[in-house]
Amino acid sequence: MPAQITEANTAIPHRGAIAARDALKTPSRQSYEVLHWGFTAAPVLFGADKFFHVMTNWDAYLSPAFAQLSPFTVHGTMLVVGVIEMAAGLLVALKPKIGGAVVAVWLAGIIMNLAFLGHSWDIALRDFGLMLGAIALSRMAVAHEHHEIP
């Protein structure tokens, strides 16, 4: 008598299931990883550069309106900004859903600062695009948590 076939003893994978080793080959997972690690590295690098001014003189990008709100000097304020940016990047590494949202809000603040500065609209536009990417990361992290992205 042949063994009865039941759901418990069959190993037919779900039609959309992808082996863990193949997950990184999917465009959706690759996109998620690019955003995840890109939004980890960028805030950490830009935050660290607030201390070294290798890329630019970051102090020049603080608007007088925001500088007046700070209890620190312009340079001191930018050092605090650097620490916050590095922390945000690390948060993205550990909790991309929350970190992506935090980075998006942070970028919105940078855009506002640049608007008050009255120039650097090209940088504000770039940061708007980055903000959209951070929002996309946060949303993709939700899908990743729910196994919608392998």
What is the Cα–Cα distance from 52 to 62, expressed in whole angstroms?
A: 16
Residues 6+ apart with CB under 8 A from 90: 40, 44, 99
User: Which segments within the chain are labelled E, that is strand?
Assistant: none
Judge whether 8 lies within some domain: no
Judge whether 9 lies within some domain: no
Lowest mean pLDDT among 7-16, 58-67, 122-131, 135-144: 7-16
* SS3 label, residue 4: coil
> pLDDT tens-digit profile of 24-69?
788 999 999 999 999 999 999 999 999 999 999 999 999 999 999 9
Judge whether 51 lies within some domain: yes
Average pLDDT over residues 134-143: 96
Judge whether 2 lies within some domain: no
Number of domains in the chain: 1
> pLDDT tens-digit profile of 59-103?
999 999 999 999 999 999 999 999 999 999 999 999 999 999 999
Question: How many residues make up the chain in this entry?
Answer: 150
Judge whether 71 lies within some domain: yes
123 lies in which domain range?
25-145
- Tell me how many helices (H) and strands (E) the chain has: 5, 0
pLDDT given for residue 9 in this prediction: 46
pLDDT given for residue 2 in this prediction: 54
What is the Cα–Cα distance from 30 to 134, expressed in whole angstroms?
A: 15
What is the Cα–Cα distance from 116 to 103, expressed in whole angstroms?
A: 20
